[in-house]
Amino acid sequence: MNVSDNRMTEEKRKSRFYPLNGIRVCIDREGETLAGRMYSKMTDDVMEFESTSKMLLEADMLFDEKGYPQRFMEARSFREKETTSASYRLPEEIVPDHVIWEQQGKCCTIDIIVESRRKAGWQGTVCMPDRSHVREFKSELEMLKIMEVMIEMQQKSAS
């Protein structure tokens, strides 16, 4: 590959669009439970997790903080509310696309695009980083099952 090919590949990688409602899940340890990192264009913080429940909670807190994708219903609370998570505009893009695309997990990498948060759950798509396998989900449990299959596929292709 010559210098112009490298430059073109670099430009193509930098021009790829990553959705604002996407979460890049980089799985660094897999076994009884998953552990790794998550990245989003809406925050420059790396969201680390040691379990699937922590992964879901971290992402849900980010969505609540940014108001995108918006909750279908406000969560009930017996405590006095300080602020509301309702936001009716798209959040600011903090991290450029190419930074998200560069992130890779030690075991595998999966992209989750959350289209909505209706019926007290997430709906959207789960896909491989190269977009070779894209599957829709209607709940977090269904999403986790799809992720399990994709993790196995990535591990088989790596060996």
Give the pLDDT confidence of 33-76 residue by residue, as tens digits.
899 999 999 999 999 999 999 999 999 999 999 989 987 666 55
**Does an H or E element contain 44, and which?**
strand 43-49
Give strand pairing partners of 113: 22, 125
| Beta bridge mates, 23 | 112
> What percentage of the chain has pLDDT greater than the value 90?
64
State which amino acid sits at residue 126. Answer: V
Domain range list for the chain: 3-74+83-158
pLDDT for position 148: 94
Instruction: State pTM to two decimals.
Output: 0.81
Burial 91-103 (b: 16+ CB within 10 A, else e): beeebebeebbeb
* Contacts within 8 Å (CB) and 24+ apart, 145-151: 147/25, 147/110, 147/112, 150/108, 150/110, 150/126, 151/27, 151/30, 151/34, 151/107, 151/108, 151/110
